[in-house]
Amino acid sequence: MAFWEELFLWIAIALYAFACAGFLSSMVFRKERFQRAAFALTASAFVCHSVAGGVRWYVTGHLPVMHTYENSLIGVWFVVLIYLGLRYYFPLSRPFGVVVTPFALLILGNGLLVGAELQPLEPAFRSNWLFVHVLFAWMAFGSYLLACADGVMYLLKEKAQTGVLSRLPELKLLEELSLRLILFGFFAHAVVIGSGAIWAHGLWGRYWGWDPVETWSLISWLIYGLNLHLRITLGWSGRRAAWLSVFSLIGIIFLFFGFGHGSSVHTEMFSR
């Protein structure tokens, strides 16, 4: 890891940690000023995180999308970007940080544990499809994660109507926001599967191979497809829909951090 990358990344991690504590405190003590401070910390962490990612890009000469650490770095960046974007267009979504920041810390921590050695872009990754595939994957993950956060907020708001929770968006707005987030995630996920299939055909000579990562990607996409059908076609709403948003994330967690990666062609894309 380059010096400036390491420095800014650790500052970002510290800020995310404080932000996480702030969001949690705002929920526990029901004080909105904690939430405001936590959001400001998240935005500051994002700036430092961007610098760390930029330094990595400059030093390695390629977009940081290779292997676990770089994927964590760019992935969390996208997740936080989507959160900040959502907060801009929908100010009442600020408390979603209580779900976003711990996930950011977990993903970055997992990436750092695996190792952050500076490496050139491997031949298997030299494809234009890489950027489409990986960037949309993290957009989908970010949207699904925020939909899960939305579901959690719905369930909290439904239980407690006082303090900071009373300032959460109305239940029906939360419900529709979750639907829109899942719709966007589902679209981005479709791009991931389509681009992955085309790339796989060039790289491995087949577009689908039932590799664990491919299978879990399809499973999680189908889970969200089911989620949308249950909500739009069969009219699931309210608490059921909120629980659905929360539980649907399980497939995604398996996909990104599941058992499949250890023995998948996605780990060693080209053997020498």
Calculate the CA 47 to chain-centre distance: 17
Q: Which of 58, 222, 240, 247 binds another protein (CB under 8 A)?
A: 222
Told to check if 176 binds another protein by CB under 8 A, we report: yes
Stretch binding another protein (CB under 8 A), from 37-45, 72-80, 157-165, 227-235? 227-235
Told to check if 6 binds another protein by CB under 8 A, we report: no
Told to check if 175 binds another protein by CB under 8 A, we report: yes
Closest distance to another protein from the beta carbon of 157 (Å)? 14
Type of residue at 73: L
- Tell me whether residue 29 or residue 247 sits nearer to another protein (CB atom): 247
Calculate the CA 213 to chain-centre distance: 17
Calculate the CA 66 to chain-centre distance: 17
Q: Are 169 and 180 in contact (CB under 8 A)?
A: no
Told to check if 272 binds another protein by CB under 8 A, we report: yes
The set of residues, in sequence order, having a beta carbon less than 8 Å from that of 28 and lying 6+ positions away, is none
233-252 residues in contact with another protein (CB under 8 A) are 233-234
Q: What is the DSSP string of 31-88?
A: -HHHHHHHHHHHHHHHHHHHHHHHHHHHHHSS-S-SHHHHHHHHHHHHHHHHHHHHHH
3-state secondary structure 127-155: CHHHHHHHHHHHHHHHHHHHHHHHHHHHH
Stretch binding another protein (CB under 8 A), from 12-20, 93-101, 154-162, 170-178? 170-178
92-151 residues in contact with another protein (CB under 8 A) are 119-120, 122-124, 126-127
Told to check if 263 binds another protein by CB under 8 A, we report: yes
User: Which residues would be at the binding site for another protein (CB under 8 A)?
Assistant: 119-120, 122-124, 126-127, 170, 172-173, 175-176, 179-180, 183-184, 186-187, 190-191, 193-195, 197-198, 201-212, 215-216, 218-219, 222-223, 225-226, 229-230, 233-234, 260, 263-265, 270-272
